[in-house]
């Protein structure tokens, strides 16, 4: 029997794929050689008894899932549910009065609570009625504060490994009832068994041998997207094996945290990881396609990574062979698709999310001014031309057009905040007038980008979630209008000064490239980080 070779599509972070979008994706990965497709749905699937679960979020109906399931079965792809039964349920908990009784803290379910297991049974029952597969991924990752909220108040402090392990046993009793073979992300079990905060740390693994009483039929999914080190993957696979259960590896096709993918990095990491998986004889491989920070990047943008992974699983790493297979499976040029990386990967810098940072960087507050370089203007202009004239776009022409339009925005905006500040501090009125004109140009180009981006979105996703894009782009455009107006008022003598432009630029970043960190240092959320 063939080992699992799967793709997991995140449909929980503001971009639930349309039925046709999933079918299109399944068709492509089937040609690549994948035999499994997972839909990661936190609250974006229908539970008939829970009207608030996924309400207004574009959730899949049971009928939609059955239609997708049948289509996938017809092309040799097993459709597998991938849900959460412990953490990552923050959107469900927005309906405070409905689910507060089963909440421990943050986005974590209250372990040991009977109402929690009633809800989880409804989740699993819904999956049983929607999917023909009897495999199910039940999540349980990143539950950092499990047992430290309402659970702590009810029961006092308990060994947190025992809390999560007891919870897993209860959930597996439910999956057994519906005939499912469950999988879990292994990170919390490694961390709590070993009493560490970094699951990738070099540790004495004897502690796992003392706490390895996981359910017999559980499969552990070791996820790692953050290394190109073969030895690390080998070490971590062996650590996971100490639990004495089946092991699946989950790598990453980077679409998260930016509009641009990270194919080049994903491919480097994937080649190292899958070599370790072959050498250690893991039981399967999943390539995850996450949507952190609102799924700004199309999941189709990482098809080069997925093709590379499918070939690497066969032991084929020759780039020319991968390119030829890609063009046969996708019908487009591999090299053209790799241009998408260049929105962020400016002049070889693949780790800064530069394009996203420069897009959202405020014209007056300039949180990321330290990243601005005059040479980026020429770079983005040339990238826009490359995207426009890219060969073999095929059905992905709308996706290429959206990246071209984004590059056109960045061609002007990339260093506009720095130019505004420099002209202001130097008393350069002509320079400020030029910046006012550039504000107008950026606004027009942003409108073109928004139109193009939405067209590409609608070829892939349901409309739910576009509201967040509209809010972000609307806020960006209104802020540019506001800054432009104040520049004009200053030039006309109606304003004596622009105080924000007198603040010094500091070189240190203010944290990860999440939207709320980029647009302002002022508070956008209520409490927390």
- Dump pLDDT digits (tens) for 67-83: 999 999 999 999 999 99
Confidence at residue 2, expressed as pLDDT on a 0 to 100 scale: 82
Is the pLDDT confidence value at 122 over 70?
yes
Average pLDDT over residues 386-399: 95
Q: If pLDDT is split at 50, 70 and 90, which confidence band does 488 have?
A: very high
pLDDT mean across residues, the chain:
95
Confidence at residue 507, expressed as pLDDT on a 0 to 100 scale: 82
* CATH code linked to domain 339-519: 1.20.120.670
- DSSP-derived secondary structure for 423-473: HHHTT-HHHHHHHHHHHHHHHHHHHHHHHHHHHHHHTTB-STTHHHHHHHH
User: Coil, strand, or helix at residue 109?
Assistant: strand
Percent of the chain exceeding pLDDT 90 equals: 89
* CA 425 to the chain's CA centroid: 40
Confidence at residue 351, expressed as pLDDT on a 0 to 100 scale: 65
Confidence at residue 291, expressed as pLDDT on a 0 to 100 scale: 97
**Cβ contact 292:13 at 8 Å:** yes
* CA 239 to the chain's CA centroid: 26
Confidence at residue 525, expressed as pLDDT on a 0 to 100 scale: 75
CATH of 4-331, one of 3.30.70.790, 2.40.50.140, 3.20.20.80, 3.40.50.300: 3.20.20.80
Q: How far apart are CA 126 and CA 23, in angstroms?
A: 21
User: Coil, strand, or helix at residue 222?
Assistant: strand
Is the pLDDT confidence value at 528 over 60?
no
Confidence at residue 498, expressed as pLDDT on a 0 to 100 scale: 98
Q: Which residues pair with 103 in a beta bridge?
A: 109
Kindly list the distances between the CA atom of residue 48 and the CA atoms of 14, 43, 60, 123, 127, in Å, as whole numbers in the listed order: 21, 12, 12, 10, 11
Is the pLDDT confidence value at 459 over 60?
yes
Q: How far apart are CA 89 and CA 41, in angstroms?
A: 10
Is the model's pTM score more than 0.75?
yes
> Token digits for 341?
């990386």
Outline which parts of the chain fall under CATH 1.20.120.670.
Answer: 339-519
Confidence at residue 77, expressed as pLDDT on a 0 to 100 scale: 98
- Dump pLDDT digits (tens) for 200-216: 887 777 778 777 789 99
Of 7-16, 202-211, 410-419, minimum mean pLDDT range: 202-211
Q: Residue 247 burial by CB count (10 A; 0-12/13-18/19+): exposed, middle or buried?
A: buried
- Dump pLDDT digits (tens) for 168-211: 999 999 999 999 999 999 999 999 988 888 888 877 777 787 77
> Residue 18: which H helix or E strand, with range?
none
Residues 6+ apart with CB under 8 A from 41: 11, 12, 16, 54, 59, 60, 81, 82, 83
Average pLDDT over residues 117-142: 98
Q: Side-chain half-sphere of 511: how many Cα atoms within 13 Å?
A: 9
Is the pLDDT confidence value at 486 over 60?
yes
Average pLDDT over residues 14-38: 98
Which has the closest alpha carbon to 336: 378, 288, 394?
A: 394
Residue with tokens 């079990």: 189
Outline which parts of the chain fall under CATH 3.20.20.80.
Answer: 4-331
CB neighbour burial string for 462-500, b if at least 16 within 10 angstroms, e if fewer: bebbbebbeebbeebeebbeebbebbeebeeeeeeebee
**Cβ contact 131:81 at 8 Å:** yes
Is the pLDDT confidence value at 527 over 60?
no
- DSSP-derived secondary structure for 86-153: SS--TTGGGSHHHHGGGEEETTEE-TT-HHHHHHHHHHHHHHHTT-S--EEE------TTTTSSHHHH
User: Coil, strand, or helix at residue 181?
Assistant: strand
Which has the closest alpha carbon to 299: 357, 253, 352?
A: 253
Percent of the chain exceeding pLDDT 70 equals: 98
- Dump pLDDT digits (tens) for 373-384: 989 999 999 999
Average pLDDT over residues 485-492: 98
Is the pLDDT confidence value at 285 over 60?
yes
Average pLDDT over residues 222-237: 96
User: Coil, strand, or helix at residue 184?
Assistant: strand
Confidence at residue 529, expressed as pLDDT on a 0 to 100 scale: 41
Average pLDDT over residues 8-35: 98
């Amino acid at each position: 029997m063939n080992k699992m070779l799967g793709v997991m599509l995140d449909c929980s972070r503001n971009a639930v794929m349309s039925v046709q979008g999933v079918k299109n994706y399944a068709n492509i990965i089937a040609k690549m050689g994948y035999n499994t497709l997972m839909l990661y749905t936190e609250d974006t699937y229908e539970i008939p008894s829970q009207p608030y679960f996924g309400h207004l979020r574009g959730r899949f109906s049971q009928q939609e899932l059955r239609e997708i399931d049948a289509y996938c079965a017809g092309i040799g792809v097993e459709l597998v549910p991938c849900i959460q039964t412990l953490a990552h349920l923050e959107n469900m908990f927005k309906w405070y009065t409905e689910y507060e009784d089963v909440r421990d803290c943050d986005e974590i379910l209250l372990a040991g609570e009977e109402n929690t297991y009633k809800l989880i049974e409804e989740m699993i029952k819904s999956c049983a009625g929607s999917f023909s597969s009897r495999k199910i991924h039940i999540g349980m990752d990143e539950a950092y504060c499990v047992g430290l909220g309402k659970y702590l108040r009810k029961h006092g402090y308990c060994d947190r490994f025992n809390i999560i392990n007891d919870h897993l046993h209860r959930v597996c009793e439910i999956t057994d009832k519906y005939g499912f073979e469950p999988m879990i992300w292994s990170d919390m079990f490694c961390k709590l068994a070993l009493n560490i905060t970094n699951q990738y740390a070099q540790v004495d693994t004897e502690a796992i041998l003392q706490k390895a009483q996981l359910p017999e039929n559980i499969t552990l999914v070791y996820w790692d997207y953050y290394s190109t080190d073969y030895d690390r993957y080998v070490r971590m696979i062996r650590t996971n094996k100490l639990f004495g259960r089946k092991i699946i590896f989950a790598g990453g096709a980077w679409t998260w945290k930016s509009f641009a993918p990270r194919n080049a990095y994903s491919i480097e990491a994937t080649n190292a990881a899958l070599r370790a998986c072959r050498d250690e004889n893991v039981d399967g491989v999943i390539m995850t396609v996450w949507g952190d920070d609102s799924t700004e990047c199309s999941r189709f943008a990482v098809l080069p990574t997925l093709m590379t992974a499918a070939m690497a699983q066969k032991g084929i790493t020759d780039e020319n062979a991968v390119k030829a297979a890609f063009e046969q499976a996708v019908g487009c040029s591999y090299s053209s698709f790799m241009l998408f990386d260049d929105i962020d990967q400016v002049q070889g810098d693949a780790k800064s999310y530069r394009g996203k940072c420069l897009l959202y960087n405020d014209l007056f507050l300039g949180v990321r001014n330290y990243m601005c370089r005059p040479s980026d203007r020429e770079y983005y202009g040339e990238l826009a031309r490359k995207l426009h004239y890219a060969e073999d776009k095929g059905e992905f022409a709308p996706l290429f057009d959206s990246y071209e339009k984004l590059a056109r925005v960045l061609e002007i905006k990339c260093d506009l905040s720095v130019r505004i500040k420099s002209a202001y501090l130097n008393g350069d009125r002509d320079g400020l007038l030029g910046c006012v004109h550039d504000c107008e140009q950026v606004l027009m180009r942003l409108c073109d980008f928004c139109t193009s981006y939405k067209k590409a979105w609608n070829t892939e996703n349901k409309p739910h979630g576009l509201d967040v894009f509209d809010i972000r782009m609307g806020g960006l455009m209104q802020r540019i209008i506001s800054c432009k107006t104040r520049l004009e008022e200053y030039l006309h003598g109606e304003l004596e000064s622009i105080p924000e432009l007198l603040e010094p630029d500091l070189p240190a970043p203010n944290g990860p490239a999440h939207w709320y960190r980029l647009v302002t240092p002022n508070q956008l959320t209520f409490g927390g980080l």
